Amino acid sequence: MKRSAKGGGSIRYRKDKDLWEARYSAGRDPGTGKQIQKSIYGKTKEEVRKLLAQKVVEYDSGLYSDPTQMRVREWAEIWQKDYLNSVKPSTKEQYSYNIRKHIIPSLGAIRLSKLSSPMIQRFYNKSLETISPKSVRNIHGILHKMLAQAVKVRYIPINPCDACEPPIVPRKEIQPLTPEQVTSFLREIQGTVNENMLIVDIFTGMRQSEIIGLTWDCIDFEKGTITIYRQYRKERKYGSKGIYQFSPLKNNKPRTITPASTVMETLKQVKSEQKLFAESSEGHFVNPEGFVFTNHKGNPIPSSTIYGNFKRIAKKIGCPDARYHDLRHTFATLSLQNGDDIKTVSSNLGHATVAFTLDVYGHVSERMKKDSADRMENLIKGTLKGTAPETDTKKEPGSE
């Protein structure tokens, strides 16, 4: 027997399934124009009636499309193909690898409409047995973006990742070189093959990929500025060694810095030496891109070579655990301790926001505030003890 359901659709008992069935319209097929009929099943008529009423309200209000039969692996493929055209190739490759390596094997066969928060949470927890918390958090970020798009196109009503708890990744405490270590570092690099590069880097805070990709068109000797608008890094294809190539900056935000005069003088010396070497090389020195720092053939210096040289020097000055990136932290810390405001430091580093700079180097500025308070306290105590400048108490003539 077929009966109309309140709010649209119809309900009937299916003897062949021993279930109640509700039929409702899910719009029209864009190709044929025919109505698309969907079914809901339940053990009781009342259960099916409630489900049908909910569906009718959702469709009438346009909240979302009918739960798709698409599986997670199918949506992942569509998402990568159609919705990642604005991201950098390296980022897209990273997404692709994590989807292929982790998400699809664990969640790919599940229907998109059936994917739940507990399923995803179990996937995260299981993954922690074989990969790091940071890797799991990266996977969470990718899956969240992928499902957020599914919500936007109304394939699912909510993002199940919202209710998940990805692992917390403890932030590594930054380890800038102390002023004494900077002095030792500068002494040890004298005469080494990367001396000039390291001088420029520690006093500009450039990322390693930025200083490798620094070209002469970035340097304005007249204005005393350096413009950083791209980086030169190894774009890895997962499963292969990758190749070096130019790519946009980390946040696609070019910046112009005005470094200390020592940095500009160092760059002038590099340019002069490079010109003389090119003239005497009888055509063996070729540098069409105009790299500032090169090997004897005119090729940019590989990051592995720079890192190896840096680690040897770091070990000599008693910092065997120092990372090349700590030069960047050293520049930022020295800048703050020497009175640069946080906005200037953030701009020089090329951070997306000042808030991020404060988050990373907040402990430095807090220490500076404490030092400032201590200096003020010493001034107050000195004043109270009568060591403040004396006032002129000489009376004017005729004042008696």
Task: For residue range 104-131, list pLDDT tens digits in order.
Answer: 999 999 999 999 999 999 999 999 999 9
DSSP state of 233: E
- Say which residue, 183 or 55, is predicted with more confidence: 183
Specify burial of residue 328 (Cβ count, 10 A radius: 0-12, 13-18, 19+): buried
Q: Residue 330: its pLDDT value, please?
A: 95
Measured torsion, CA atoms of residues 138, 139, 143, 145, in degrees rounded to the nearest 10: 20
Q: What percent of the chain has pLDDT over 70?
A: 86
* Residue given tokens 């005119």 in the structure block: 298
- CATH number of the domain encompassing residue 231: 1.10.443.10
Is the same domain home to 159 and 32? no
Is the same domain home to 204 and 269? yes
Task: Considering only CA atoms, give the Rg of the chain.
Answer: 32
Q: Judge whether 198 and 189 are in contact, CB under 8 Å.
A: yes
Is the same domain home to 24 and 131? no
pLDDT tops 90 at residue 295: yes
pLDDT tops 50 at residue 5: no
Domain that holds residue 98: 72-163
Domain end residue (candidates: 40, 61, 82): 61
Distance between first and last Cα of the chain:
120
Is the same domain home to 348 and 219? yes
Q: Sheet harboring 10-14: ordered strands across?
A: 2-4, 10-14, 19-28, 35-42
Is the same domain home to 56 and 77? no
Number of domains in the chain: 3
User: Do the bridges between strand 225-228 and strand 219-220 make them parallel or antiparallel, or are there none, so unpaired?
Assistant: antiparallel
